[in-house]
Structure 1
Amino acid sequence: MDRVQTAQTVQTAEHGETAEPVNSSPAEATPGPAPESPPLRPRHRFTAWAAGLLLVVPALVAACRALDTDAMTPVPQLLSALPWLTVPAALALLLAAAARRRVLTFVSVLVLGATAWSAVPYMPQTVISYGLPLARVKVIASNVEFGEGTGSLIEVVRRESPQLVFVSECDRACRSALTQTFADALPHYAAVEEEGSAGSIVLSAYPLRDWRMIPAAMGMPGATADIAGVPVQLQLAHPLPPVPGQVSRWKRELGRVKEAVAARPTGPMLVAGDFNASQDHAAFRAILAAGGLQDAARRADESRRPTWPTEGPPLPPFVQIDHVLVRDFSVREVRFLDIPGSDHRAVLADLDLRGPR
């Protein structure tokens, strides 16, 4: 019998059918089509879409922060809440992982990391102070909201006994109350005498000269104080808020503050007030860079303390827009004080004026 037979035929006894030859060589088996990946389940598809939508705002705002731009509405408004955007970014990462979408998960990690990085500029700033301390200076910066918080501010000033007080939204009645109440303790002042939010004043225990004012919709007076025989540049800052429709004016007025501090590049300086900007805004950081200034709150590791809003809808304060900026001063302490009647907390900075290096 020939042994080269490669297939065998099986006769079925019951039906009389002949089976197909069976190939006994595995190497000659014809491969079938590759199995397709299972389609995304509807639940996972919805989860992936939700993750993508949650990433849009944090990605946009973090990108603008990294590119050092305030862009246009709604970016300036959202930059005020940038650290809080880590919440939707983290939720997006969880949803992307649950949906088992690798690319989306990777993007979520990047966005969360970029958003969390926004906290880095708020870390304590170490500055080596040169020169001997010449005078201890306590400064208060307060927005009294159309003068409504004047009485509360008077109580704070009596209690804290500051040498300099920067007051925004101080109308004529507010100015009159402050100057009369502190005629002995703070006899010198530079003011913009207007009603509503346009009025403002700088009260000083030290003689003032060289009064000046930055052109703006709301008062921004400045002067030079003689402290321990040293001329110190004082400037109140209160630009328009970056509400939709006036972002360009907000940038322009912050730009004027920048020009004012850049015009005096040396010597001690204090710039304080309601900046309507946080350290996440490029226009605010430009002021710091132009004048070689430091935020006293950051120096004291208090730069995450929110100052606005403290009244109105049931929304907790979430952003620090009130600042005391310093040059040639060392920082002892920074505190934030409630001012009933105002929607802002006041900033109190306890400083030491330093002599020449």
Structure 2
Amino acid sequence: MTLFSNSGADLNELAQIKDMRVMIISDAAPERNGVGAYYQDLIQYLQPKVGKLEIICPIIQENGRWQGGLNIPLPGDTTQKFLIPNFWNIKKRVRQFAPDVVIVPTPGLIGLAGAFQGRKHGATVLLGFHTWFEKLADMYWGRIEGALNRAYFWVSNKLLFRWSDIVVANSDEMVQIANEFGSKQSFRVGTPVAFNFLNRPQADPVNKVARIMFAGRLAAEKNLPAIIEAARAHPDLEFSISGDGPERAHVEKAALELPNLRYLGWLNRDALLAQIDQHDCLVLPSHVESFGTIALESMARGRITVVSRNCGICQWPELNKGLFIIEPHSNLTDMISSLKSIDSKLLVQKTSMGRTAAEQLNNWSMGLWYSLLGSLNKK
């Protein structure tokens, strides 16, 4: 019996949340990063099941401007913003909405304000602990800036863990860190898959590796040089990189130098889905990756999916059967060489298992979310 064998919520649990008022308060803009995408997908499944759901988060307008507070570009990454919200407005919206549960997935000022106001107004506060920012500090900032940022996140996380009633994370490592931080209750939850990624008709099965894609933030922890090096080593294959971030200039430069490497820019979810379907393989060779939602989405679309052992998705044994994992002693270039020699029938079988595992994880994850929210209902 596998972890996913017991999936879905029973009718009693769904009845417990049908009148529940849920508010998500986040510093992450929808679809802009993994956390933003996670809760955008979660909302798709929760909205029809709960009484009422509302989200407070930044919005990125068509002109690229961030709306939701005074925004300051993060040092080393102007594509991400640190927002100073209108605290009075958050207080007012929480009071008017009167949530039963407040979900806070980020340690920024919006998240802190949300946790504080949720607790003040008697809601159960659920903290989503998805990113260990302290681990990324040395990649983005110098010694002084890094120390200041680590200090901020340490204080912020301490406050969030104090104000929250329960903590959820999507890897065993993050659950362990939460426990070390003093979490009252910590649980591992799964990752929902966007509705379109599961329900849109599938592209043709993959039986060879010809077109390879990366999608995500163009940042140091993603190990983008490994992708560029793989493109150099495999001139017979086509490579595409999608996303935005501090490493964008390096990617654009490499795309000009290498005829088999394209830079696609940042893509919304529909365009991303279309590009995944047009490629045979998605790669995520990250140095640090709490989970790796894009890899799960690739599996859902029946693509060959390559991840490094550093990705949190590898901590789910049920998903490993659909993944090709780069071990610490290996690299992306060698992995691609191996994929080129694998029998086409085995590739089709592997991607089919990945698709099934992604679907099972989604069902199990949402069943767990429904059960968890039902257990928190104070009414």
Tell me whether the two structures share a fold, i.e. TM-score over 0.5.
Answer: no
Higher helix share: 2
TM-score in terms of structure 2 length? 0.30
TM-score in terms of structure 1 length? 0.31
